[in-house]
Structure 1
Amino acid sequence: VQEYTDEIERSIVEHVCSLKNERDQSLFGEVEVWLTAPCDIPLRHGELENFAVSQHSSQSFCLELLHKDGMLIINDVLPADRVQDLRNMVLKRIADAEENLKQQHPSIKIGSDLFAFKEMSSRGKQRFDLLLEEEEEAFAPIFDLSRTGPWTKFVAEALGNDWTCDISVIYSRPGADDQDWHSDGPHLSVPSHHLKSSASPYAFCVFLALIDLD
Structure 2
Amino acid sequence: MSPVRPIRTLDPMNLVDWVTDLMQTAGAPGAALAIALENLFPPLPSEVFLPLAGFTAAQGKMSLLAAIGWTTFGSVAGAVLLYWLGALLGRDRVRRIASRMPLVRVSDVDKTEAWFLRNGYRAVFFGRMIPVFRSLISIPAGIERMRLAPFLAYTTAGSLIWNTALILAGYLLGDNWHLVEDYVGLASKAVLALAVIVVAVFVVTRLSKRKTAATKRP
With the length of structure 2 as denominator, give the TM-score of the two structures.
0.24
Greater fraction of residues in strand: 1
Larger Rg: 1
TM-score, normalising length: structure 1: 0.25
